[in-house]
Amino acid sequence: AFFYDGANKIATGFKGLFNKEETTSDIKELEEQIIILKDKNRELETVIMKAPYLKKEYNLIKNTKYDLTKAKIASMDPDEWYKRFTINKGKKDGIKNGDILVGASEIQNNVYIEGLLGKVTDASNDSSRVISLNDEKFKVSFNILRNNESGVMGGTYDGELEGYMFDNNADVLLGDKLITSNSSDEYPPNIYIGEVSEVINDESNLKKIIKIKAAVDIKDLSNVFIIKR
């Protein structure tokens, strides 16, 4: 009886040991599955977050008249965040200084066009430096789509878009859409810039100043498109 009891206790001990090993193995397997599921969930969240822009991007590529080159934003200038950045395409891809950067913009319901982002300032072999239109050194002449009134706009020190009309009596309204001017040598004509968000009459300088909401928000992008000049 003593021998039987002892053997039974030993067998029970071994059984408990194996059960613990199985339990540990199961826990590890579950933890691995949880990690995989979390990664997949993050990927799905990223896709969902990007979905609106991916739709715009798809429709732009489908409808554009330009031979667009797609590039990724590789890095932002740490001193000029969102004003200056680097893309992963360069001279070996046919990119050169002065080439224009655009993004996909929905100008009205389900109508997608090129929205001005900036231009290449320093193309190297594998990458290119870009100045965006919200940089204070960026300037472009524009026309109002509604009536062809003209002016010039660019960035400000705080990263906003601002411009002024050449005629201080110009007919400009909130919501007016701006496009690049036909008279510009630097930019293709009729590229969408953005819309007027504020009109300020500066009586002291006899200027009509406008604030502008950009056609494309650089903060929402990871990809851009290049129009080669």
Q: How far apart are CA 183 and CA 163, in angstroms?
A: 17
Q: Are 147 and 171 in contact (CB under 8 A)?
A: yes
Q: Are 96 and 228 in contact (CB under 8 A)?
A: yes
Question: How does pLDDT run across 107-117, given as a tens digit for each residue?
Answer: 877 788 899 99
Q: Are 86 and 130 in contact (CB under 8 A)?
A: yes
pLDDT above 90 covers a percentage of the chain that reads: 48
DSSP for the chain, please give it: -HHHHHHHHHHHHHHHHHHHHHHHHHHHHHHHHHHHHHHHHHHHHHHHHHHHHHHHHHHHHHH-SS--EEEEEEEE-TTSTTTEEEES--GGGT--TTPEEEEEEEEETTEEEEEEEEEEEEE-SS-EEEEETTSTT-EEEEEETTT--EEEEEE-TTS-EEEEESSTT----TT-EEEE-TT-SSS-TT-EEEEEEEEEEETTTTEEEEEEEESS-GGG-SEEEEE--
Half-sphere exposure of 125 (CA within 13 A, CB side): 0
Question: How does pLDDT run across 19-72, given as a tens digit for each residue?
Answer: 555 577 767 777 777 777 666 656 545 444 456 667 888 888 888 899 999 999
Q: How far apart are CA 96 and CA 82, in angstroms?
A: 21
> What pLDDT is recorded for position 46?
46
| Torsion of the alpha carbons at 60, 61, 62 and 65, rounded to the nearest 10 | 90
> What pLDDT is recorded for position 35?
74
Question: How does pLDDT run across 144-182, given as a tens digit for each residue?
Answer: 999 999 999 999 888 889 999 999 889 999 999 999 998
Residue 14, pLDDT > 70, answer no
